[in-house]
Amino acid sequence: MSKVQELMSKDTKSPQRSRPDREGQTAVLDRPKLKRPPLYKVILLNDDYTTQEFVVLILRKFFQKNIEQAFELMRAVHNTGKGIAGVYPYDIAVTKVKQVENLAKQFEMPLRLTIEAE
């Protein structure tokens, strides 16, 4: 027996891949199916004081929108009162909202965002 085989036979953490009653058959490991996390929409809310340039900036910086997408979404928020900046798992959505609100506070902008389940 080689040293590698000896080490592998002593390894208690690796799954048992063969059973004596199934000698010569291929073992199949059952893996649990993972469920995708629920998604949440990050929604920008319109106000009368936050500049359009600032909205475009945060859409590009935090939501990875290109200039055309950012401008289009900024106009939609301005015209309809709100717009979906992105859809993420809960933890990421909360983080993005906090990041944007912190930057808005630094620039003294009253920009607000909400999170809604998809």
Report pLDDT digits (tens) over 91-104: 999 999 999 999 99
> Is the overall model pTM greater than 0.75, yes or no?
no
* Confidence at residue 30, expressed as pLDDT on a 0 to 100 scale: 82
Domain extents for the chain?
39-117
* CATH number of the 39-117 domain: 3.30.1390.10
Q: CA 1 → CA 6, 8, 83, 117, distances in Å?
A: 7, 11, 66, 57
If you average pLDDT over residues 30-47, what whole number do you get? 94
Helix axes 52-63, 90-106, angle to 10 degrees: 140
Give the pLDDT of residue 20.
Answer: 60
Q: Quick one: average pLDDT of 32-57?
A: 95
